[in-house]
Structure 1
Amino acid sequence: MTDTLSVPLRDFGNLEIDAFMTPQELSIVFFAQLAVILVACRVVGWLGKRFLGQPQVVGEMIAGVCLGPSLFGLLAPELQSLIFPKESQPILFVGAQLAVGLYMFIVGLTFDTSHFVSRAKSAAAVSISGIAFPFVCAFLITPWLLQTPGLFHDKLATWEAQLFMGACIAITAFPMLARIIHEKGLSKSPLGTLALSAGAIDDAGAWCVLAIVLASFGGGPMVAIAAIGGAFIFAIFMGLFGRKLTAPLAKMMERDGGISEISLAYVLIAFALCAFAMDIAGIHAVFGGFVLGAVMPKGKFSETLREKLEPVTAVLLLPLFFTYSGLHTQLTLVNTWNLFFIALVILAVSIAAKGLACYAAARLTGEDNRTAMGIGALMNARGLMELIILNIGLQRGIIEPALFSIMVVMAIVTTLMAGPLFELVYGRHARATGLLPETTKQT
């Protein structure tokens, strides 16, 4: 078995790559990519904060798109191909999965289950509404979209396309939502917990629907059965035994006076196993990470663990995912008035369907008007999970590059507007009335 990968002839500085790229040469390319990715994410993230008031994570998402063919590849195609050769993308893919999985584990560490229990009714109502109404809208507009060639696979049935579009419109960017909530100081607030709870249910439902589409589109019925059944069994097991199995870690911390290397190793092994379980079931590694984090002992243990893992995860790893997605986004494909009109319709329907449904559900379950508007604004952020589901759809041949790019535009716009809209309808008033401290970072 050869240890090389066949690639076109390239010249990377002093690196001469002939007919093959060896693991060492892949390593050289990867570290060059990593430097470019980190610089781009820092610069674009800073610009987004400075001039648009956006969280760092939103700037990182835009930076990922900029590094792809939509900007970097358009302005300097040879240089872009040199830094990001196709043969290196499997490495970025693995790094991206590690990033989002580990980040969602950190989110789970801060998840306040007591708030979830106290607001379970509101969370369930917001989530169900935030899934049902977008699906209704998707079922109405998808037959019209199918009339335009080059958006969906030719052999895709109408109902399959409707289910996929419904999942795309209904999904909430759970990791993105969590990071926005964290940066706005809402992590331990009732509103933040309500939004995270509803977002978690939304995403789980969307992944189950996606599993059904994949099963009908050639994956076989076992794909849907394994995904839905596996997720249910995993959630029940972790709910019943997760806390008991992880409780000794907190005792080890008390005994050692901190989280030791062996305790950290146990945690990372458990994370890898949970991510593996959800990935092999067909849901996604992020849910394995989140559920594990949610059942971990709370208090000093979870806070210390988060302090150890969060900087490397957020600063070093997460940008890999945004770049991997950006490398598959070609906004230049939206190059006709018809496609531009389709993009506007999808954007308008997505915003209205998700935001209005979540707002109405929150109001009907007793939330005040400002809280309900804040929920509607936050639930409209789709960035991270939308990119994941779109990548799966593109890789499996469900959608074509043109629709992929249109949906990426929708993901970016809805995520960009989430923070400012939340500040407008809730954040400023909450700080003025003392519901949020004045020292909260206003992103």
Structure 2
Amino acid sequence: MNTTEIYLIAMAIIFSVPYLVWRLGRTDHWAPLVVVQILTGIALGPGVLGAAFPDYYRFVFNPQVIGALNGVAWWAVMVFVWIAGIELDLREAWRYRREGGITAGLALGVPLLFGAAAATLLLADLPLVGGGWRGLLGQPWQFVLGVGMACAVTALPILILLMEKLEILRQPIGQRILRYASLDDVAIWGVLAVILMDWQRVGRQAAFLALFALASVALRALMQRVPERDRWYLGLIWLALCAFGADWSGLHYMVGAFLAGAVMDAHWFDQKQMDALRAHVLLVVMPVFFLSTGLRTQWGAGGWSVLVVAALLLVASVAGKLLGVRIAGRVLGWQPGEASLIGWLLQTKALIMIIFANILLDKQVITAQAFTAMLLMAVGSTMLTTPVVKPMLARLPQLLSRRV
């Protein structure tokens, strides 16, 4: 077979296997399709399929096919992160800055500290987890801060999807949660930029940021003068240019993609079209990103240490998020049960954490083994959300319409 035919076989596997598992297994309550796609990517990677059927794995996922898949995955995740940036509503966050700042700060800071403590344990080469978690180019502070922030991440796009399914997205409680997650998103990408700061290319990075600031002013002026149909095309051109500039300067193309969206206003676009675009990106191209992510997983000796570390990070992320939001609830005088509901929704990791971990792996801040543990942590976090939150909503309907 030629490369095109093998590529199409790979694409058929990527789209059919997770769909069949999700549909026939009726997993939607505890594992939405996006989670099944991530798990399928792991199963199709070298740690599972590659170990069980190495010849088949090498035939289907040969270097030429992987190269083609990676190209699709790069663009898919850039568009997805760009949409997440556009959907940030910083004006609304500023309007409720005291309540939002306290909640978002504690919801981010406490799990970050818990995750940083867990990362410090990993650096200690303890017998239960061993070593080999920090990447070759990662300084200890970068590793600790990176793992800590991975434990603090909230996956804003997936949170939107889950709240849509739970029918609370347009309710006051849903809009509050979006504000908290939006503020955390800004902080997350800011910290990532610090972690990725390349002092040998600091001149390039300063030049990129200066040009980006000037170009953003021009873009905003232009976008308000053109019809909406042109804004979509201009937005995608802007996305490609910002991603290139960020990568050229020593940051990462996904940092550029987020910045490209963050300086754009959601009201420039029809909300239904934006929702449809996000859904179509998830349907049409993001499964390729999940597969390419799974191809990067490694399990190490027996895989037990990876599972132990994944469990450690999951406890740190969930416990830290719940504790942080509970403290915020005490400070702000929330109703009983409100902090638990918000905390469980905000601990959703999924895509943003996986994107974050991919960047750390690309920059060799973490190893492939650490990446696998973080990926499993993100999946576990997301799978917990709906089964825990759905009964809470049934018990506490009065919280849905409460405004602050």
2:8 is aligned to 31
Which structure has the higher relative contact order (CA within 8 Å, separation 6+)?
Answer: 2
Query: Of residues 356, 362, 366 in structure 2, which corresponds to 1:399?
Result: 366
Closer, same or farther: CA 421–276 of 1 in aligned 2, 3 Å: farther
CA distance in 2, matches of 1:233, 1:125: 33
CA distance in 2, matches of 1:363, 1:233: 44
Q: Is the 8 A contact 2:105 2:184 kept in 1?
A: yes
**How many equivalent residue pairs?**
393
2:118 paired with 1:141: yes
Report the 3-state secondary structure (helix = DSSP H, G, I; strand = E; otherwise coil) of the residue aligned with 1:397.
Answer: coil
Closer, same or farther: CA 224–94 of 1 in aligned 2, 3 Å: farther
CA distance in 1, matches of 2:178, 2:28: 27
- In structure 2, what residue type is equivalent to 1:291? A
1:8 is aligned to none
Q: Is the 8 A contact 2:139 2:365 kept in 1?
A: no
Aligned-pair distance for 1:414? 0.8
Query: Of residues 63, 75, 78 in structure 2, which corresponds to 1:86?
Result: 63
Report the 3-state secondary structure (helix = DSSP H, G, I; strand = E; otherwise coil) of the residue aligned with 1:70.
Answer: coil
Aligned-pair distance for 1:417? 0.7
Structure 2 length-normalised TM: 0.81
2:292 paired with 1:324: yes
2:107 is aligned to 130
- Percent identical pairs in the alignment equals 24
CA distance in 1, matches of 2:332, 2:310: 33
1:303 is aligned to 272
CA distance in 2, matches of 1:112, 1:156: 33
- In structure 1, what residue type is equivalent to 2:271? S
1:197 is aligned to 179
Query: Of residues 394, 397, 404 in structure 2, which corresponds to 1:428?
Result: 394
Q: Is the 8 A contact 2:88 2:262 kept in 1?
A: no
Closer, same or farther: CA 394–310 of 1 in aligned 2, 3 Å: closer
Q: Is the 8 A contact 2:136 2:364 kept in 1?
A: no
Q: Is the 8 A contact 1:104 1:289 kept in 2?
A: no
CA distance in 1, matches of 2:102, 2:214: 21
Aligned-pair distance for 1:242? 6.2
Rg larger in 1 or in 2?
1
- In structure 1, what residue type is equivalent to 2:110? F
Structure 1: gaps spanning 5 or more residues: 1-11, 16-24, 254-258, 437-443
CA distance in 2, matches of 1:158, 1:400: 13
Structure 1 length-normalised TM: 0.75
1:226 is aligned to 205
1:22 is aligned to none
CA distance in 2, matches of 1:196, 1:109: 13
CA distance in 2, matches of 1:350, 1:357: 10
Query: Of residues 15, 20, 27 in structure 2, which corresponds to 1:43?
Result: 20
Structure 2: gaps spanning 5 or more residues: none
1:168 is aligned to 150
2:54 is aligned to 77
1:110-131 CA deviation, whole Å, 9 max, x = no partner?
6666643443333322222233
Q: Is the 8 A contact 1:105 1:289 kept in 2?
A: yes
1:401-429 CA deviation, whole Å, 9 max, x = no partner?
3222222221111111122222233x324
Aligned-pair distance for 1:37? 0.9
Q: Is the 8 A contact 1:57 1:179 kept in 2?
A: no
Closer, same or farther: CA 279–184 of 1 in aligned 2, 3 Å: farther
Closer, same or farther: CA 369–353 of 1 in aligned 2, 3 Å: same
1:116-127 to structure 2, matched below 5 A, reads 116-127=93-104
